[in-house]
Structure 1
Amino acid sequence: MAAAGKLYSVNFEVFGTVQGVFFRKYTRTKASELRLVGWCRNTSKGTVAGIAQGPKAKLDVLKDWLRYKGSPHSRITSAVFSNEREIETLEFVAFTVKH
């Protein structure tokens, strides 16, 4: 169990039907509701990738959302998480969509 106050960072990539279905917009909304920071963007291979940072418990909620829910019209086949690590300070001030 992570100690209170510790911050974590995780990279993610979501596969399936995740472009053209407002996936990035819904990801930004969900991350903002959880008070997480970071970014997401479409990739040239048809996935959505990004970084999220914040308390581990809230990152775990976002990870489940990215893995199983997504935007209303998305069809997620898998979500890959990498480079999960503890960080000293947040590297971003909000969760944004990169173009």
Structure 2
Amino acid sequence: MTPDTPFDVPISGAISDLVRRLYDQAVSDGRRRDFLDAYRTITARLESSADTFGEELFALPRLGVVVRVALVAPLSVLYSLHPVSRLVTIGDVTYTRPRSR
């Protein structure tokens, strides 16, 4: 695969369910637009530049995998990347709620 080949980013049912729950929280917080903008940005970056998006946390060399974390407020994503096969596996998505006043 060439560096121009997009990364494959399958979304598991568990992550899809989690994103729906987080979206509902964002809507109740009045942050629907922020959530959707962040989600679209994260998705685009994972597909186009997962190897440089966010920060590397650690590598698992025997598996050929790198674990990374990225933040596009109000969302963060924890994912693993297999650079050779260009496969991204999302492990967790977190929504940061606004501070209560």
Higher relative contact order (CA 8 A, sep 6+): 1
The structure in which a higher percent of residues are strand is 1
Structure with higher helix content:
2
Q: TM-score range by the shorter chain?
A: 0.3 to 0.5
TM-score (norm 2): 0.32
